[in-house]
Amino acid sequence: MSRTVEELQEMVATLGKAAMGIGRSDLASQLRIYSLSLQRGPGEKFNAGSVHWSEESVVDWLGLFQVPPYADQCPIRPEQARCEKCVASPNPRAYLHVDTLADLPSGRARKCRKCGAVWLERRTRQ
């Protein structure tokens, strides 16, 4: 879904507040830079640090941070979960290529290197 620049900037501001709320000033700083780049004209993607920001990645992070109305957008899986999309891959090890995007109070944000799927991995122990 393609949003207007104003809608996307509002989403970026909401995500920045959520990031600051859990002490992720690094993400908030990246989002400020991304917001400034949107004012100059929206592009496909914007690289700020280790995260490549786009409309899709903003929505993914809003889901990972469980910000309404995106809270249900991101699947929640148990610890050590593997990519459900890649389990059926002909490559028997494809589902093992999972990176941690961030450690969050509620768990870990995870992303499959192969297909790009994103999910929240709930912590089961302290």
Are 86 and 58 in the same domain?
no
Q: In which band, very low, low, confident or very high, does the pLDDT at 118 lie, cut at 50, 70 and 90? A: confident
pLDDT mean over 44-54: 62
Are 51 and 94 in the same domain?
no
Q: Tell me whether residue 55 is in a domain.
A: yes
pLDDT mean over 51-62: 84
Are 60 and 82 in the same domain?
no
Q: How many Cβ atoms from other residues are within 10 Å of residue 52's Cβ?
A: 13
**With 90 as the cut, is the pLDDT of residue 22 above it?**
no
pTM for the structure as a whole: 0.73
What is the C-alpha R_g of the chain? 15
Q: Tell me whether residue 98 is in a domain.
A: yes
Q: Tell me whether residue 106 is in a domain.
A: yes
Name 52's bridge partners: 47
Q: Residue 61 corresponds to which tokens in the numbers above?
A: 């992070």
Residue of 119, 37, 57, 41 whose CA lies nearest to 82: 119
Q: Which residue has the higher pLDDT, 23 or 1?
A: 23
Q: Tell me whether residue 40 is in a domain.
A: yes
Domain end, chosen from 38, 64, 90, is at 64
> What was the pLDDT predicted at 43?
56
Q: In which band, very low, low, confident or very high, does the pLDDT at 1 lie, cut at 50, 70 and 90? A: low
> What was the pLDDT predicted at 31?
92
What's the length of the chain? Answer: 126
Domain of residue 114 covers 76-122
Q: Tell me whether residue 69 is in a domain.
A: no
Are 83 and 55 in the same domain?
no
Are 82 and 51 in the same domain?
no
Looking at residue 99, its amino acid is: D
Are 49 and 98 in the same domain?
no
> What was the pLDDT predicted at 54?
86
Element containing residue 38 per DSSP (H, E): helix 25-40
Picking from 26-30, 32-36, 54-58, 86-90, which range would have the lowest pLDDT averaged per residue? Answer: 86-90
Q: How many domains does the chain have?
A: 2
